[in-house]
Amino acid sequence: MNATNRSHGALVKRLEFKDGCGPDRKLPPMRRIAHIDMDAFFASCELSQYPELRGVPMVVGGRRSDAPTVKPDGTREFARLRDYVGRGVLTTASYEARKFGVRSAMPTMTAARLAPDAIILPVNFELYRKHSRLFKEAVASVSSVIEDIGIDEVYCDVSMLEDDSETIARRLKTAVVEATSGLTCSVGLAPNKLLAKLSSEMQKPDGFTILTMEDLPGRVWPMAASKINGIGPKANERLASFGIDTIGDLAEREEPWLIEKFGRSYGAWLYRVAHGLDDRPVVTYSEPVSMSRETTFERDLHAVRDREELGTAFKALCDQVAADLARKGYVSKKIGVKLRFDDFKTVTRDVTLPSAIGDARSLRKAASSCIKRIDMVRTIRLLGIKAGTLSRPGSVEDAEDSAQLELKFE
């Protein structure tokens, strides 16, 4: 993803510049940012390959064994949620499944209680990546100033286009539906990313919404504060404890009060978003910060009794991270491990190496030194390996590290 997108800290810094005499003082007079969000993306991708599931409650998030089988007469047989056993959460639910109260990120077992007859499909990332590429190419045909924010979402700066906003929104939607042979999206068009993101959600699915600053009191302030990107469950709970439920409630508070309750950075940010202020640019390129792999076991493993199984998983994860680094052309200076115990408590340990590495053997060595520092008090639910502080082999940073090392050995 990218560095500035979800950072209220960065946002605050830039706004301070704008108020003062910093370099960002002269902004273009009229920005227009589109947020394009695919509708129930994974489910829609699956429908395009299994059209017989159209109109049927369906969820994505199963295991490979949930893949449909082909019967002798050529028709497909699908797994049902009621037959699901094991751990996991849903990745997506079709709109028909949502009518039963099923939501993405819901534990699959909970969903099975709500909609036992719903079809369950395993995640098929290859398929989604294919449609994602087509979707993004379609958006790029309208404006190439695009910020990637996930497999099914982009921001797009359309300030330089001459058409009116409604024409642009329609052009974006038509381009996407044609490029993906029928996948729909929802478009929000507004003066900044904050409002664009809020507006794309207002007429979902397959709609578009145009928002201006004048719409703030009438259309934005009635929305729940938690709709704002950056106000998660914790912050929302804290806000609710002060009687702040909507964005309008938030806008009624003075900035000093918000800063007093939520801190300098977050408080100032809350004040600004409540008033629809956000001048983050659309960032078209960003370098990755870390790469990681993790796995949740089918059953909790014991550090000693299940040593072999843990070792196998550990090696596989290191191999995967090494392969990811190699494929994308990075090396890492910071290797870390993550463990989740049966009580869901998560611990991490990491180590900064004297020089960047990328091969599986060095990765395993660094990661096992981290694991040794963890007190194995309970059985283990999840194991993860992460490579951070990335650089490209042969880059300036990489060369500097090597030079430092040589000096040490002289």
Partner DNA sequence: TCTGGGGTCCTAGGACCC
Known binding residues for Mg(2+): 37, 152
Q: Does 63 bind DNA (CB under 7 A)?
A: no
Cβ–Cβ under 8 Å, residues 79 and 103: no
- In the bound state with DNA, the residue whose beta carbon lies nearer, of 148 and 215, is 148
Q: What residues contact 165, with CB distance under 8 A and at least 6 apart?
A: 32, 189, 210
- In the bound state with DNA, the residue whose beta carbon lies nearer, of 207 and 267, is 267
Judged by CB under 7 A, the stretch of 64-72, 253-261, 301-309, 376-384 that binds DNA is 376-384
- In the bound state with DNA, the residue whose beta carbon lies nearer, of 198 and 251, is 198
Cβ–Cβ under 8 Å, residues 43 and 93: yes
Cβ–Cβ under 8 Å, residues 80 and 116: yes
- In the bound state with DNA, the residue whose beta carbon lies nearer, of 289 and 405, is 289
Residue burial 6-42, b: 16+ Cβ < 10 Å; e: rest = ebbeebbebbeeeeeeeeeeeeeeebbbbbbbbbbbb
Other CB atoms within a 10 A radius of the CB of residue 268 amount to 20
Q: Does 229 bind DNA (CB under 7 A)?
A: yes
User: Which of 110, 174, 203, 312: binder of DNA (CB under 7 A)?
Assistant: 110
- What number of chain residues touch DNA (CB under 7 A)? 68
User: Which of 55, 232, 329, 394: binder of DNA (CB under 7 A)?
Assistant: 232
* Parallel, antiparallel or unpaired: strands 79-80 and 119-122: antiparallel
Residue 68 preceded by cis peptide, ω within 30? no
Angle, CA of 108, 114 and 119, to the nearest 5°: 65
- Which residue in 46, 96, 147, 153 is the catalytic one? 153
Examine the residue annotation and report whether 237 is marked as an active-site residue of this protein.
no
End-to-end Cα, the chain, rounded Å:
41
The distance of closest approach from Cβ of residue 191 to DNA in the complex, given in angstroms and rounded to an integer, is 19
Judged by CB under 7 A, the stretch of 148-156, 158-166, 248-256, 358-366 that binds DNA is 148-156
Q: Does 310 bind DNA (CB under 7 A)?
A: no
The distance of closest approach from Cβ of residue 163 to DNA in the complex, given in angstroms and rounded to an integer, is 27
- In the bound state with DNA, the residue whose beta carbon lies nearer, of 295 and 402, is 295
User: Which of 93, 268, 291, 366: binder of DNA (CB under 7 A)?
Assistant: 291
Q: Does 373 bind DNA (CB under 7 A)?
A: yes
The distance of closest approach from Cβ of residue 151 to DNA in the complex, given in angstroms and rounded to an integer, is 6
Q: Does 204 bind DNA (CB under 7 A)?
A: no
- In the bound state with DNA, the residue whose beta carbon lies nearer, of 388 and 393, is 388
Residues 266-285 that bind DNA (CB under 7 A): 266
Q: Does 1 bind DNA (CB under 7 A)?
A: yes
Cβ–Cβ under 8 Å, residues 157 and 150: no
User: Which of 49, 174, 312, 348: binder of DNA (CB under 7 A)?
Assistant: 348
User: Which of 15, 53, 142, 149: binder of DNA (CB under 7 A)?
Assistant: 149
Cβ–Cβ under 8 Å, residues 143 and 161: yes
Positions in the binding site for DNA (CB under 7 A): 1-10, 82, 85, 87-89, 91, 105, 107, 109-110, 112-113, 149-153, 197, 228-236, 263-266, 286, 288-296, 324, 334, 336, 343-344, 346-352, 370, 373, 381-382, 384
Residues catalogued as catalytic: 153
